[in-house]
Amino acid sequence: MPNFLSIKNLFPLMLIVILSGCVSSSIDPSRYEKTTSYTLINAEPTRLDQYFEREVASHSLTKETGFYPLDKGHDALLARLAIIETAQSSIDVQYYIFRDDTAGNLIAWRLFEAAERGVRVRVLLDDMQNYDDKDLLRFSSHPNIDVRMFNPHHLRTARGLAMLSDFERLNHRMHNKSLTVDGVVSIIGGRNVGNEYYSIESNVEFADLDLLMVGKSVRQVNRQYDLYWNSDYSIPIEWLTNDQLQYTDADVDAWVQALGLKEKFSGGAHDFSKLPLYSDLLNGTIELYWGEGDLLYDLPDKPDSKQSTLIDSLGAVINAGKTSLVLISPYFVPTESGVKEFVKAVEDGREVIIITNSLASNDVFAVHGWYAKYRKDLVKGGVQLWEVKSNAEIKKNWSLTGSSRSSLHTKAIVIDKRKIFVGSMNWDPRSADLNTEMGVVIEQPEYANKVYLEIMKEIPSTAYQIEVVDGDIIWVDHSTGERLTTEPDASIWRRFGAWFSGILPIEEQL
């Protein structure tokens, strides 16, 4: 048998770990002066206030949340561009992923343009993605823009080494996603910033859901953002590099011209002025769903406290349900205790429907490997389990992807056809224990029932139903009548990768 881990190979690894112990594993905030800032309160109504004036007039903003669902990538991108364009005083940005691609550059450019006209822009990014610090530093050098990184890697050019030397800290990430303008309107949900979330130039296309909100929950988003922005975990980008870079007008002009941002923004597919939502905003004719709701979120110190305030609050809401539970999660690893809870809900007379990705549509096959271990027990316990097809048709107004694969990315829960939860949280150990998450739960029977009915109508054609026959898993395609005995549309190597991941002791990391 070959000696794959020889002494010759092991020595450099040991040396790296030993040396990395000499490197500071965290950044001491007391060494720096960090400016505290909070949501700007507008003395006079903003344009956004005026746009929603008709809707707001008949509702209580202290108790109710008004929302507009964004279930198409096209609408989700253009809605973000539209409210950024409307900003007068402030924009707060919070994302787990902010890619350097078409969608990311379009949004970044509009944020820069807003700063140019005097809008304060705060950008808080999780530091798991490998960003270009120099680009972020130039962006943050604008007098109206501040960029901070949540729980950053201490070795900026050796991130793998940083993880080795400080895994316990760096394994905790900020998964929250929000964009808030003038403290009046927020967009929250499952989408990061990247082409795959907005039907643009990607080989995979995510089906996702955001809510554009006004009212009570927006004020809660503001408080959540301020907590994160001012926490010790949020580090100004200027602290993370010795460079002192400033953007120039020539830099900006070259960036905009090289990527054709003006052309993409002012016409064609990315012209948000063609979005029906934008016309409704300008005309004051936008129609929202209204209901009593609350923003649920983990505190920024979750990595230290080990407590999920979101899970505690959401668990109480789910347990109070009586008749039905529909859970949609792209990454679904219920654990043994979770399986018991779902089965108990069925035994108590509740309809329980779970929708997740198939192996072919899941972009993280290791997650599928561990989820697969629980399928039989769920189905035997009466849970209706569905796996989304990799070629499922995604709702969209456009598609520039030419994508060969679709993937579920929506994170939502429908409770008793009366309440709906939409947010960033997957149903897995990582969301429960390692990442910070956020989401809103709103009691809105009209919309919740509509979502339930749409799911029940569409799921037989867009997903496989899982059954257990003679102890074996069967994938039932109700649109064709086929009954499949192996993971549909997945290569043998993908099936092997999922199986192998399922025998590794990594469940708590998924």
pLDDT at residue 67 tops 60: yes
| pLDDT score for 116 | 96
Exactly one of 59, 175, 216, 419 is catalytic; name it: 175
Only one residue has tokens 């654990």, namely 335
Q: Rounded CA gap, 438 and 258, in Å?
A: 36
| pLDDT score for 398 | 36
The first and second tokens of residue 173, run together, are 């990430």
Is 304 part of the annotated catalytic residue set? no
Exactly one of 74, 153, 154, 177 is catalytic; name it: 177
Is 243 part of the annotated catalytic residue set? no
pLDDT, tens digit, 9 for 90 and up, residues 5-50:
333 343 343 333 433 333 334 555 555 678 999 999 899 999 999 9
Average pLDDT over residues 130-143: 94
pLDDT at residue 308 tops 60: yes
Alpha helices in 260-392 (DSSP H): 261-266, 276-283, 302-305, 309-319, 335-347, 365-371, 375-380
Q: 459: alpha, beta or left, given left = phi > 0 and alpha = psi -120 to 50? A: alpha
Q: Rounded CA gap, 502 and 423, in Å?
A: 27
pLDDT, tens digit, 9 for 90 and up, residues 70-120:
998 888 988 999 999 999 999 999 999 999 999 999 999 999 999 999 999
Q: Rounded CA gap, 478 and 387, in Å?
A: 12
Task: Enumerate domains of the chain plus CATH numbers.
Answer: 61-283 (3.30.870.10), 298-509 (3.30.870.10)
Three-state DSSP class for residue 376: helix
Residue 356's beta-bridge partner residues?
Answer: 387
pLDDT at residue 284 tops 70: yes
| pLDDT score for 510 | 80
Exactly one of 71, 133, 298, 416 is catalytic; name it: 416
Q: Phi first, then psi: give them for residue 442, nearest 5 degrees.
A: -130, 135
Is 409 part of the annotated catalytic residue set? yes
| pLDDT score for 2 | 33
Average pLDDT over residues 227-237: 96
| pLDDT score for 395 | 52
Average pLDDT, the chain: 88
CB atoms within 10 A of CB 274: 13
Yes or no: say if 479 and 460 are a contact pair by the CB < 8 Å rule: yes
pTM of the model: 0.91
CA 493 to chain centre: 28
Exactly one of 409, 417, 419, 428 is catalytic; name it: 409
Only one residue has tokens 């029906």, namely 276
Q: Which of 197-211, 248-262, 265-279, 321-335 has the lowest mean pLDDT?
A: 265-279
Exactly one of 182, 208, 210, 298 is catalytic; name it: 182
Is 411 part of the annotated catalytic residue set? yes
| pLDDT score for 390 | 87
Exactly one of 59, 411, 417, 419 is catalytic; name it: 411
Question: With 0-12 CB in 10 A as exposed, 13-18 as middle and 19+ as buried, what is 53?
Answer: exposed
Yes or no: say if 353 and 364 are a contact pair by the CB < 8 Å rule: no
Is 126 part of the annotated catalytic residue set? no
pLDDT, tens digit, 9 for 90 and up, residues 385-432:
999 998 775 554 433 333 346 788 999 999 999 999 999 999 999 999
| pLDDT score for 399 | 35
End-to-end CA distance of the chain: 32
| pLDDT > 70 fraction of the chain, expressed in percent and rounded | 90
Yes or no: say if 464 and 375 are a contact pair by the CB < 8 Å rule: no
